[in-house]
């Protein structure tokens, strides 16, 4: 066995035991249990952010799915003039949360997470939780209210107060879609949370550890 092959096998075994080695968007984004089984570190990051800021995990997860489809390097599409002259992107939004640069800088300063990156899931999850908490404090929207939380996320705190979402039928439909996804995630999560909270040794002996054959 050469060194490279041995390292690959060790990495595969580590993924099998610990989870969280999946790359790219989740294979089944409609099932929060499947998402977290494939990305064990995502669950740990989501749980840490929930403890810090208070919003139930399904709400920021539903917002993040709507914004980026859980793609780490998601960006708005490039705009074109006359079909072939690039005009740049519509905004500075980037990463899992599609946070714009000024808002991300505010988060870095206010949260103390100065080394955060928008293409890091844990940092992005903490950002969305921070935004939800600030929406609660500024506009009085409950942390579990995915519909109104998404309207704030899309329109900004000032825009929401001004009612800028009124008459935007497509946005309202999208916000309801986020709400429905959050409700679906909330119904699913209790079915696997005990499993996700258990240590890796317990998962091995209970037969819950993922098989190495499940990883490409």
Residue 33 domain-assigned?
Answer: no
Checking if the pLDDT of 75 tops 60, the result is no
Residue 29 domain-assigned?
Answer: no
User: Domain of 137: which CATH number?
Assistant: 1.10.530.10
Checking if the pLDDT of 118 tops 90, the result is yes
Checking if the pLDDT of 77 tops 70, the result is no
Residue 47 domain-assigned?
Answer: yes
Q: Name the residue among 137, 145, 142, 111 with its Cα closest to residue 125.
A: 111
Residue 49 domain-assigned?
Answer: yes
Residue 162 domain-assigned?
Answer: yes
Checking if the pLDDT of 20 tops 80, the result is no
Residue 183 domain-assigned?
Answer: yes
Indicate the pLDDT class of residue 69, thresholds 50, 70 and 90. very high
The mean pLDDT value for 72-90 works out to: 49
Q: pLDDT digit string (tens) for 97-108?
A: 999 999 999 999
Q: What is the pTM of this model?
A: 0.79
Number of domains, the chain: 1
Left (φ > 0), alpha (ψ -120 to 50) or beta: where does 167 sit? left
Q: Is the CB of residue 63 less than 8 Å from the CB of residue 53? A: no
Left (φ > 0), alpha (ψ -120 to 50) or beta: where does 142 sit? beta
Residue 10 domain-assigned?
Answer: no
Checking if the pLDDT of 203 tops 90, the result is no
Domain range for 147 is 41-198
Residue 22 domain-assigned?
Answer: no
How far apart are the C-alpha atoms of 132 and 123, rounded to whole Å?
A: 14
Q: Is the CB of residue 58 less than 8 Å from the CB of residue 88? A: no
What pLDDT score does 93 carry? 82
What pLDDT score does 24 carry? 81
Higher-confidence residue of 5 and 215: namely 5
Cβ–Cβ contacts within 10 Å for residue 119, how many?
15
């Amino acid at each position: 066995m050469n060194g490279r092959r041995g390292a690959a096998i060790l990495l595969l075994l580590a993924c099998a035991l610990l989870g969280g080695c999946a790359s790219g968007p989740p294979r089944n984004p409609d099932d929060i249990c499947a998402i977290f089984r494939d990305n064990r570190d995502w669950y740990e990051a989501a749980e840490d952010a929930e403890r810090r800021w208070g919003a139930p995990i399904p709400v920021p997860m539903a917002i993040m799915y709507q914004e980026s489809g859980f793609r780490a390097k998601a960006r708005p599409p490039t705009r074109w003039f006359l079909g072939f002259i690039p005009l740049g992107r519509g905004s500075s939004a980037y990463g899992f949360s599609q946070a714009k640069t000024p808002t991300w800088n505010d988060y870095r300063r206010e949260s103390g997470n100065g080394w955060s990156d928008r293409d890091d899931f844990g940092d992005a999850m903490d950002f969305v939780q921070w935004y939800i908490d600030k929406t609660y404090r500024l506009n009085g929207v409950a942390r579990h209210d995915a519909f109104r939380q998404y309207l704030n996320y899309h329109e900004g705190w000032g825009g929401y107060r001004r009612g800028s979402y009124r008459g935007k039928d497509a946005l309202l439909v999208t916000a309801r879609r986020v709400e429905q996804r959050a409700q679906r995630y909330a119904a699913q999560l209790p079915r696997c949370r005990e499993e996700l909270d258990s240590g890796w040794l317990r998962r091995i002996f209970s037969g819950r550890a993922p098989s190495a054959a499940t990883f490409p």
